[in-house]
Amino acid sequence: MAINKKTILIVSSVLVLTCLGFLVWEHQTKEPAQEQVNQEKQGKDCAVQTEERIVRGTSLSPLIEPGDTVKVLFGYYNCHNVEREDIIAYNYAGNKDPIIKIVKGIPGDTFALKESGSGWNILINDQILKNSEDQPYMISGSGYKMLSLYATDYPIIPENTYLILSDLATGGIDSTHFGLVDKDDILGKVEK
């Protein structure tokens, strides 16, 4: 039986394509397996514990009123980004219970204060911050002194650092009281 060059070429081509097909198939089956490993690893680090809590303070009125029940998703930010306007539970030193605030500034935002009449407005990305009732935040006294230190040293909010505020236009026990906060002290996301 004579084998000609055309037969050898066809057999060689089939073998090459079969090998390539096997390699492509093997590569495709490995990626989902790696993805599954990543998801399993992430799931272990991202355990979220949900607790219901009754709100005691008035600093988020009218968004959240005293006596309202909220869900706190403890550990949520271990696997999710903290987003602007998130309502968060914050570990405030000296309090056995976390306080809840609104995230108004996130890493990479420009941060400044602007004098306006009898106080100072807080600017994020050159925009005056406003509360849920569309009132500009207007701080003075110790709130201004605290935030001016941070605005001078951190005109751009650093990585893993946040500006958190109450819904009171004059500030409260929030960043106007204790400055920018570290992500490690954000305990979880709050849902109304």
pLDDT single digits (tens) 24-40: 333 333 333 333 333 44
Distance between CA atoms of 23 and 18, rounded to whole angstroms? 9
Query: Which of 92-96, 123-127, 174-178 is least confident?
Result: 92-96
The angle at the Cα of 88, spanning 95 to 129, to the nearest 5 degrees, equals 110
**Residue 96 pLDDT class (50, 70, 90 cuts):** confident
Nearest to 171 by CA among 151, 190, 144: 144
Supply the mean pLDDT for the chain.
Answer: 83
Say yes or no: domain 49-191 is CATH 3.30.479.20: no
Domain ranges in the chain? 1-45, 49-191
Digit-coded pLDDT (tens) for 38-83: 344 444 567 899 999 999 999 999 999 999 999 999 999 999 999 9
Please name the helix (run of DSSP H) or strand (run of DSSP E) that holds residue 39, with its range, or none: helix 5-45
CB 68 within 8 A of CB 164: no
